[in-house]
């Protein structure tokens, strides 16, 4: 029955006559609610305040009912609650934005996933398309709901996709997909690394002989399917690159390979290398404050992101690292590898994880970031804010955390900025 419903949506480009429950009313959930209304569905919604088997909302009124839903659309931030598993086991499809919007839209999809670098590669690729005059929609996990593509004409839908989104697909099938890398991440939702990796691998489960997957060489042997597979390559002159780190050279290589498989002019990469300034909160250059060079890497929410940031700088003896945030688990031993690059007095610990980290680092620790700046004046150094942990212990999200960090810097060094 569920396959029949999805086929009907795809063929008719309509949700007419369907009862749809939106589970989770964040940015994605609100956007999906409007899509369902616009495409003719009867729409209900629920959120954390109304969890249960029989409490739902319609037109802002809470009602209790044994409604028979044809479809549940789950926001990626909502965990797999018992109620959701109950509906799924009883035959109600539980899907997400990627699935429903791709059924309603015929725009070819370029999908990018990976543990690290998704936002950067998507942003690079969008700038490359802009330089080539190709009309491209950029959305998904990057913060712009994919559903905003509906009703508009684009040459391609460029989507950043997460494991939380990919575990909610059924027929979603990109024309071109990239898996940038896979390292252990999101242990709070994925019980094992294999579970997490399998969610990432969903990106190619529906791809066919007309599709193309771009993946690092070391992951190729784990991939099976009728689609074409290649690895990023390309040798360029990176001397004019404005962003730091060898990982960004690899990011440019992924972008070049995507352009190559689409038959586009890859010469644009040289211009992109010299013009791309990076992504906010991702090793973002904040300023040079009379010898203190400050970088905001608030988007770093795992060990590998922080390690990548550290490795981006040649003069590691000049680095001052701010590390900390919300604990995912009590196992933080992987952070010990930082000691290969930095001494304890180069690391400053903050947030919920500071006490556990202090077992391994004989470092200065404070609950809040601003406390460090009240006690000392940092100078003649590279100050790297790359937390390595989620932000939710003190902030709304990594963006809020990054803005807070930049404000602290501006307040303490406002008279000495040199850009």
Residues 283, 312 contacting (CB under 8 angstroms): yes
pLDDT of amino acid 51: 46
Residues 369, 408 contacting (CB under 8 angstroms): yes
Residue identified by tokens 């609610």 is 33
pLDDT of amino acid 323: 98
Residues 265, 353 contacting (CB under 8 angstroms): no
Enumerate the domain spans of the chain: 2-95, 100-275, 284-418
pLDDT of amino acid 64: 52
Six token digits for residue 65: 């009912």
pLDDT of amino acid 200: 95
Give me the phi and psi of 278, to 5 degrees please. Answer: 100, -175
pLDDT of amino acid 48: 54
pLDDT of amino acid 50: 46
The three-state secondary structure class of 56 is: strand
Order of strands, sheet of 42-46, starting from the edge strand that comes earlier in the sequence: 61-64, 55-58, 42-46, 19-23, 71-74, 94-95
Buried b (16+ CB within 10 A) or exposed e, 345-354: ebbbbbbbbb
pLDDT less than 70: residues of the chain? 1, 48-66, 185-188, 415-419
**Could you tell me how many helices (H) and strands (E) the chain has, helices first?**
13, 19
Domain spanning 284-418: CATH 3.90.190.20: yes
pLDDT of amino acid 278: 86
Residues 232, 214 contacting (CB under 8 angstroms): yes
User: Dihedral sign, CA of 345, 349, 354, 356?
Assistant: negative
Six token digits for residue 377: 């004046």
pLDDT of amino acid 417: 56
Residue identified by tokens 């305040």 is 49
Structure confidence by residue, pLDDT tens digits, 157-212: 999 999 999 999 999 999 999 999 998 766 667 778 888 999 999 999 999 999 99
User: Dihedral sign, CA of 325, 201, 204, 3?
Assistant: negative
Level-2 CATH architecture, domain 2-95: 3-Layer(aba) Sandwich (3.40)
pLDDT of amino acid 54: 52
**Superfamily of structural domain 100-275:** Mur-like, catalytic domain (3.40.1190.10)
Six token digits for residue 255: 């972008």
Using DSSP bridges, classify how beta strands 136-140 and 284-289 pair: parallel, antiparallel or unpaired: unpaired
Q: Where are the alpha helices (DSSP H) in 90-140?
A: 97-104, 118-132
Closest Cα partner for 193 from 251, 85, 247, 115?
Answer: 115
Closest Cα partner for 121 from 71, 175, 81, 179?
Answer: 179
Radius of gyration of the chain (CA): 23
Residues 205, 213 contacting (CB under 8 angstroms): no
Q: What are 19's strand-pairing partners?
A: 42
Distance CA 110, CA 403 (A): 30
User: Dihedral sign, CA of 386, 388, 394, 399?
Assistant: positive
Distance CA 336, CA 304 (A): 12
């Amino acid at each position: 029955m569920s396959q029949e419903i999805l086929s009907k949506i795809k063929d008719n480009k309509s949700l007419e006559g369907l009862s749809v429950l939106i589970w989770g009313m964040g940015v994605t959930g609100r956007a999906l609610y409007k899509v369902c209304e616009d495409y003719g569905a009867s729409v209900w919604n629920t959120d954390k305040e109304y969890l249960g088997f029989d409490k739902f909302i319609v037109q802002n009124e809470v009602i209790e009912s044994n409604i028979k839903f044809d479809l549940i659309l789950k926001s990626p931030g909502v965990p797999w609650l018992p109620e959701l598993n109950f509906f799924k086991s009883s035959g109600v499809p539980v899907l997400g934005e990627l699935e429903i919007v791709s059924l309603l839209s015929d725009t070819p999809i370029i999908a990018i996933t990976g543990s690290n670098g998704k936002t950067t590669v998507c942003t690079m690729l969008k700038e490359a398309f802009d330089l080539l005059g190709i009309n491209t929609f950029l959305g998904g996990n990057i913060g712009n709901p994919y559903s905003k593509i509906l009703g508009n004409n684009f040459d391609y839908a460029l989507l950043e996709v997460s494991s939380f989104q990919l575990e909610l697909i059924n027929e979603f099938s990109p024309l071109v997909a990239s898996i940038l890398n896979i390292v252990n991440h999101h242990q709070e939702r994925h019980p094992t690394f294999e579970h997490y990796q399998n969610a990432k691998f969903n990106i190619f489960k529906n791809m066919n002989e007309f599709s193309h997957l771009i993946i690092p060489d070391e992951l190729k042997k784990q991939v099976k399917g009728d689609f074409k597979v290649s690895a990023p390559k390309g040798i360029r002159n990176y001397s004019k690159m404005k962003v730091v780190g060898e990982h960004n050279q690899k990011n440019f290589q992924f972008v070049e390979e995507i352009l190559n498989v689409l038959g586009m002019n890859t010469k644009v990469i040289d211009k992109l290398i010299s013009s791309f300034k990076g992504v906010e909160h991702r090793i973002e250059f904040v300023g040079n404050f009379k010898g203190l060079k400050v970088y905001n890497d608030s988007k770093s929410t795992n060990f590998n992101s922080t390690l990548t940031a550290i490795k981006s700088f040649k003069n590691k003896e000049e680095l001052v690292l701010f590390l900390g945030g919300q604990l995912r688990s009590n196992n933080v031993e992987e952070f010990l590898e930082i000691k290969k690059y930095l001494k304890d007095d180069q690391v400053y610990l903050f947030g919920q994880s500071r006490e556990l980290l202090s077992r391994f680092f004989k470092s200065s620790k404070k609950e809040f970031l601003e406390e460090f700046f009240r006690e000392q004046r940092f100078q003649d150094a590279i100050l790297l804010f790359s937390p390595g942990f989620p932000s939710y212990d003190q902030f709304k999200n990594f963006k809020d955390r990054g803005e807070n960090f930049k404000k602290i810097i501006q307040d303490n060094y406002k008279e000495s900025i040199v850009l």
